[in-house]
A and B are shown apart, each in its own frame.
Chain A
Amino acid sequence: MSDYKDYLTRQVMLGKMNRREFLGRAAALGIAASTANTLFATSAAAQEPKRGGHLKLGLEGAAATDSRDPAKALSQFLFVVGRNWGDTLVESHPTTGAPVPALAESWEPSADASTWTFAIRKGVKFHDGKELTVDDVVKTLQRHTDEKSESGALGVMKSIKEIKADGDKLVLVLTEGNADLPLLLSDYHLIIQPNGGLDNPDAMIGTGPYKVMSFEPGVRATFEKNADDWRTDRGYVDSVELIAMNDATARIAALSSGQVHFINRVDPKTVSLLKRAPTVEILNTSGRGHYVFIMHCNTAPFDNNDLRMALKLAMDRETMVQRILGGYGKIGNDFPINETYALFPEGIEQRTYDPDKAAFHYKKSGHSGSVLLRTSDVAFPGAVDAAVLYQASAKKAGIDIEVKREPGDGYWTNVWNAQPFCTSYWGGRPTQDQMYSTAYLSTADWNDTRFLRPDFDKLLLEARSELDEAKRKEMYRTMAMMVRDEGGLILPMFNDFVNAASKQVKGYVHDIGNDMSNGYVATRVWLDA
């Protein structure tokens, strides 16, 4: 009950619940009206952010090999570092996922969504005092779209044909229409740098709420408030310190001893222990990341749809979510989209564990003998356990799965996207289009299920330039059904992002976009002394 009370209080603080609704729910909990009134008043008062203080975060994912250049940012640590010092043209809305203006004030597509014009915000200053111009934006995007670039956003930017300035506006010409273009520009690699970062990509100079004071790769990064920030609704603390903590136990110890205010990547297995600490709050956010078992649709024996269907039905999703995610997640339905996406296709029947039906399809497939599943704990936390659980549930359907544990080192090179059946992980993408284009388009580099369907490709391209939402939603529904019923993807679960913070930390925004409040954690929270 107190959990639920905390939840209600939080909703009020986030401005998501009004007085009437709060009192109603509190009454249902059996809280006296007068108490509820006081509670509401204090919660609502806490909504006003406090300024000042020194925020310390202990984060997993840093290495001595980390690069300062945002183009080459890969780790969780660098994700937050970049969000602190830099801005992108567009951001995504924390709860709806829709594009919202950042350094671009507004935008306008052409009728076929193939040419986009962005108005660049005026009066924004870089940390070195130089004013942001449309030229900086053009140069930045050019650097990331260069064929020779090592940018992590290269794949996202492939469809941009031409980048130019039109007066003080930015014009992007695409090879084909794309209704989702603004969201693509919210990619965390695409931080706008002075002169596009061409002079010195490692300078860490941007327009973000914090200036970089020091950065030691794999150790620590410190930040100081940018006094000239163009926004007032962020950057509440005076200074931020990110400490690299790759050991899960070290993070928990640091948080429970009060040495840091926030930690990421809490192992679901230890959540219940951490919850006992009175000063700690678990922050779990539904996300788009999903844990998967992938089969190559063009490789025997997985080129048989009955076998694929048998393997999908032999998966006990509820148990997976409980055992592997400790309940911090949602069950999946064998297509890579969940309700956090805009235009989510509703009403598709949930696939459940059905040994009899699985046995039926397995028999029909004519396959005999065992099926080899390769796995490693680098695929996702608990992947080996998940594979063994799956082995057990499939056995009840008469399917013999042989689990082979592969070395973690080199897993992404030698097993994933190379072997016909293995475990893997997908982080979400800002849009359905991008998720499907990255992994389910026939020509995609990362088509890890070898899903080769010309009709699917055609539909995907049509949906991309379709500006009518209703039509587009219907198209995405058809695509989801294709992947769900004929694809090589077994998607048992979407994982929550599980972080934890000291109760001093207020204003945490549960952002569906990505982990750690979409990387903005340090710029959005404040400290309540």
Chain B
Amino acid sequence: MASGPMAGPVPTDETAREIDARSTDPSGVPANPTAAVATGEIGGTFWRLFVFRRPLAALILKRLGLSVGLLFAVSLMISGGIEALPGDFATTYLGQSATPQAVENIRRDLGLDRPWSERYLSWLGGAVTGDFGTSWASKQSVSEQIGKRLGNSLFLAFFAALVSVPLAVGLGMVAVQFRNRMPDKIINVISLAAISLPEFFVGYLLIMVFAVEWGVATFPATVYDSMALADRLSAIALPVATLVLVVLAHMMRMTRAAILNVMSSAYVETAELKGLSTFRIIARHAAPNAVAPVINVIALNLAYLVVGVVVVEVVFVYPGMGQYMVDAVTVRDMPVVQACGLIFAAFYIFLNMAADILAILANPRLRHPR
């Protein structure tokens, strides 16, 4: 193996940098908690000690607190955003067939004549107690409808992740093994080609070949309540394949880059010089340092698989959350849009937090930031 520069094991991944930056923040945790006690900041002492003793728990608690604040901000932004869009629910729902009388009746029924802040606060009051209200358009319970749609979205995302994550990591490792040789190049070209095509195009291609020409795949991918698991799985085969092709390259290339980066570092070289086996070097020395960036990119792609797949849902006629939210935005169905927005935000926040925690677990160096 080529000898690396003398720079030492520099954490190059985003997470490490981010966490380092946070620790140097003036409002952050001081390096030495006993010093804080000595200067008489008694109020924060317990928290500081807690941070010192249980850095992981403290991180999670802090992140959870932050998440709640973020969710509030998100709900406020969504609500304000809908307000700023042209037309309100009554006019957009009725569209071209809106008579002034019907518009008037809907406005009065829903209290759209009340000021925005008042409507937002009453919605918030319900949401805090877990009541997302009823959809303005369909008059169905939002929680109930979202339950179904979210279940569908998670079902699709789960299987897409189940296929794509091991495949991406595996291919990344294969690419490292055969670096700059034929298998590496083939993997790179194919995955880059797949990510370069728009999702709908990949979807249409798969439909054309597998459903229309060969007739081997199920299409459309509509799933419903009473559907047997086997039918469901067959229905989602094509959308899962599309999603895998779309997210594969990103994760694969990150895995490849991270492992290569670590493999060229000084401590791996030291391990090699000690005469350790290749397997031991990768498992004990290289892998923990390469895991953080890989986890981060996986988390990002998982979040995408849940919240970013509207186009795939439309193409394959799959009843997921994305389509639900788009329908609701189109007619300004406020309770539904708000609830969907909150759930999407919660997913991003949770997955990012999970990625950070896992990164710290994998690399103890990040646990006691200096």
A402 CB contacts on chain B under 8 angstroms:
none
Using a CB-CB cutoff of 8 Å, which residues 221-275 of chain B contact chain A? Answer: 222, 224-226
CB pair A63–B331 under 8 Å, yes or no, is: yes
Bitwise, B258-302 to A at CB < 8 A (1) or not (0) is: 000000000000000000000000000000000000000000000
Residue of B whose beta carbon sits closest to that of A446: B99
CB pair B220–A243 under 8 Å, yes or no, is: yes
CB pair A244–B140 under 8 Å, yes or no, is: no
CB pair B330–A247 under 8 Å, yes or no, is: no
CB pair A64–B323 under 8 Å, yes or no, is: yes
Q: In the complex the two chains form, what is the Cα distance from A151 to B101 in whole Å?
A: 10
Judge whether A74 is part of the interface by a CB distance below 8 angstroms. yes
Contacts A58-B220, A216-B319, A254-B220; A65 near B327 (Cβ below 8 A): yes
Judge whether B143 is part of the interface by a CB distance below 8 angstroms. no
CB pair B106–A410 under 8 Å, yes or no, is: no
CB pair B86–A414 under 8 Å, yes or no, is: yes
> Which stretch (A142-150, A166-174, A177-185, A369-377) binds chain B?
A142-150
Give, as a whole number of angstroms, the nearest-CB distance from B44 to chain A.
Answer: 48
Judge whether A469 is part of the interface by a CB distance below 8 angstroms. no
B106 CB contacts on chain A under 8 angstroms:
150
Bin chain B's interface residue count: 35 or more
A155 CB contacts on chain B under 8 angstroms:
99, 101
Judge whether A32 is part of the interface by a CB distance below 8 angstroms. no
Q: In the complex the two chains form, what is the Cα distance from A416 to B86 in whole Å?
A: 13
A410 CB contacts on chain B under 8 angstroms:
85-87, 92
CB pair B317–A250 under 8 Å, yes or no, is: yes
> Which stretch (A255-263, A359-367, A507-515) binds chain B?
A255-263
Judge whether A7 is part of the interface by a CB distance below 8 angstroms. no
Contacts A65-B138, A66-B138, A68-B138; A259 near B101 (Cβ below 8 A): no
Judge whether B324 is part of the interface by a CB distance below 8 angstroms. yes
Using a CB-CB cutoff of 8 Å, which residues 218-259 of chain A contact chain B? Answer: 218-220, 243-247, 249-250, 253-254, 256-259
Q: In the complex the two chains form, what is the Cα distance from A357 to B258 in whole Å?
A: 73
Using a CB-CB cutoff of 8 Å, which residues 358-409 of chain A contact chain B? Answer: 407, 409
Q: In the complex the two chains form, what is the Cα distance from A258 to B97 in whole Å?
A: 35
CB pair B317–A247 under 8 Å, yes or no, is: yes
CB pair B99–A65 under 8 Å, yes or no, is: no
Q: In the complex the two chains form, what is the Cα distance from A416 to B97 in whole Å?
A: 11
Partner of B86, one of A149, A249, A413: A413
Judge whether B94 is part of the interface by a CB distance below 8 angstroms. yes
Residue of B whose beta carbon sits closest to that of A448: B96
Q: In the complex the two chains form, what is the Cα distance from A151 to B207 in whole Å?
A: 40
CB pair A74–B219 under 8 Å, yes or no, is: no
> Which stretch (B65-73, B117-125, B176-184, B208-216) binds chain A?
B208-216
Judge whether A94 is part of the interface by a CB distance below 8 angstroms. no
Contacts A67-B139, A413-B87; A74 near B220 (Cβ below 8 A): no
Residue of A whose beta carbon sits closest to that of B106: A150
Judge whether B315 is part of the interface by a CB distance below 8 angstroms. yes
Give, as a whole number of angstroms, the nearest-CB distance from A484 to chain B.
Answer: 23
Residue of B whose beta carbon sits closest to that of A222: B224
CB pair B219–A254 under 8 Å, yes or no, is: yes
Give, as a whole number of angstroms, the nearest-CB distance from A187 to chain B.
Answer: 12
Residue of A whose beta carbon sits closest to that of B98: A412
Judge whether B109 is part of the interface by a CB distance below 8 angstroms. yes
Judge whether A217 is part of the interface by a CB distance below 8 angstroms. yes
Give, as a whole number of angstroms, the nearest-CB distance from B207 to chain A.
Answer: 5
Bitwise, A188-226 to B at CB < 8 A (1) or not (0) is: 000000000000001000000000001011111000000
Bin chain A's interface residue count: 35 or more
CB pair B138–A217 under 8 Å, yes or no, is: yes
CB pair B314–A65 under 8 Å, yes or no, is: no
CB pair A253–B211 under 8 Å, yes or no, is: yes
Judge whether A79 is part of the interface by a CB distance below 8 angstroms. no
Residue of A whose beta carbon sits closest to that of B108: A148
A218 CB contacts on chain B under 8 angstroms:
319, 323-324, 327
Partner of B330, one of A63, A67, A147, A243: A63
CB pair B92–A64 under 8 Å, yes or no, is: no
Give, as a whole number of angstroms, the nearest-CB distance from A380 to chain B.
Answer: 11
CB pair B99–A413 under 8 Å, yes or no, is: no
Q: In the complex the two chains form, what is the Cα distance from A322 to B331 in whole Å?
A: 33
Q: In the complex the two chains form, what is the Cα distance from A64 to B340 in whole Å?
A: 13
Residue of B whose beta carbon sits closest to that of A64: B327
Residue of A whose beta carbon sits closest to that of B325: A64
CB pair B138–A445 under 8 Å, yes or no, is: no
Judge whether B93 is part of the interface by a CB distance below 8 angstroms. yes
B219 CB contacts on chain A under 8 angstroms:
253-254, 257, 259
CB pair B91–A64 under 8 Å, yes or no, is: no
Give, as a whole number of angstroms, the nearest-CB distance from A199 to chain B.
Answer: 15
Judge whether A154 is part of the interface by a CB distance below 8 angstroms. yes
B93 CB contacts on chain A under 8 angstroms:
65, 74
Judge whether B5 is part of the interface by a CB distance below 8 angstroms. no
Using a CB-CB cutoff of 8 Å, which residues 292-344 of chain B contact chain A? Answer: 314-317, 319, 323-324, 327-328, 330-331, 333, 336
Partner of B95, one of A66, A74, A216, A250: A74
Contacts A65-B328, A74-B95, A257-B215; A249 near B220 (Cβ below 8 A): no
Q: In the complex the two chains form, what is the Cα distance from A425 to B95 in whole Å?
A: 12
Judge whether A99 is part of the interface by a CB distance below 8 angstroms. no
Judge whether A152 is part of the interface by a CB distance below 8 angstroms. yes
Using a CB-CB cutoff of 8 Å, which residues 81-118 of chain B contact chain A? Answer: 85-87, 91-102, 105-106, 109
Q: In the complex the two chains form, what is the Cα distance from A424 to B323 in whole Å?
A: 27
A257 CB contacts on chain B under 8 angstroms:
207, 211-212, 215, 219
Give, as a whole number of angstroms, the nearest-CB distance from A147 to chain B.
Answer: 7
A258 CB contacts on chain B under 8 angstroms:
215
B102 CB contacts on chain A under 8 angstroms:
149-152, 154
CB pair B324–A64 under 8 Å, yes or no, is: yes
Judge whether B204 is part of the interface by a CB distance below 8 angstroms. yes
Residue of B whose beta carbon sits closest to that of A62: B327
Residue of A whose beta carbon sits closest to that of B90: A150
B137 CB contacts on chain A under 8 angstroms:
63, 65-67
Residue of A whose beta carbon sits closest to that of B220: A254
Judge whether B15 is part of the interface by a CB distance below 8 angstroms. no
Give, as a whole number of angstroms, the nearest-CB distance from A390 to chain B.
Answer: 21
Q: In the complex the two chains form, what is the Cα distance from A12 to B75 in whole Å?
A: 62
Q: In the complex the two chains form, what is the Cα distance from A156 to B192 in whole Å?
A: 58
Judge whether B188 is part of the interface by a CB distance below 8 angstroms. no
Judge whether B363 is part of the interface by a CB distance below 8 angstroms. no
Q: In the complex the two chains form, what is the Cα distance from A423 to B109 in whole Å?
A: 32
Q: In the complex the two chains form, what is the Cα distance from A152 to B97 in whole Å?
A: 7
CB pair B97–A253 under 8 Å, yes or no, is: no
A259 CB contacts on chain B under 8 angstroms:
211, 218-220
A63 CB contacts on chain B under 8 angstroms:
137, 327, 330-331
A425 CB contacts on chain B under 8 angstroms:
96
Residue of B whose beta carbon sits closest to that of A67: B138
Q: In the complex the two chains form, what is the Cα distance from A71 to B118 in whole Å?
A: 30
B92 CB contacts on chain A under 8 angstroms:
410, 412-413
A149 CB contacts on chain B under 8 angstroms:
102, 105
CB pair A65–B333 under 8 Å, yes or no, is: yes
CB pair B330–A214 under 8 Å, yes or no, is: no
B99 CB contacts on chain A under 8 angstroms:
154-155, 445-446
Pairs A–B under 8 Å by Cβ, sample size 8: A64-B323, A64-B336, A67-B138, A148-B105, A149-B105, A219-B222, A253-B211, A445-B101
A-contacting residues of B (Cβ < 8 Å)?
85-87, 91-102, 105-106, 109, 135-140, 145, 148-149, 204, 207-208, 211-212, 215, 218-220, 222, 224-226, 314-317, 319, 323-324, 327-328, 330-331, 333, 336
Q: Which 10 A-B pairs have the closest CB atoms?
A: A65-B137, A410-B86, A413-B87, A64-B327, A63-B327, A219-B319, A257-B211, A257-B212, A64-B324, A410-B87
Beyond the given pairs A150-B106, A217-B145, 15 more chain A to chain B contacts, judged by CB atoms under 8 angstroms and listed by A's residue number, are: A63-B327, A65-B330, A67-B137, A67-B138, A74-B97, A155-B101, A250-B317, A259-B218, A259-B219, A407-B86, A409-B85, A412-B87, A416-B96, A425-B96, A445-B100
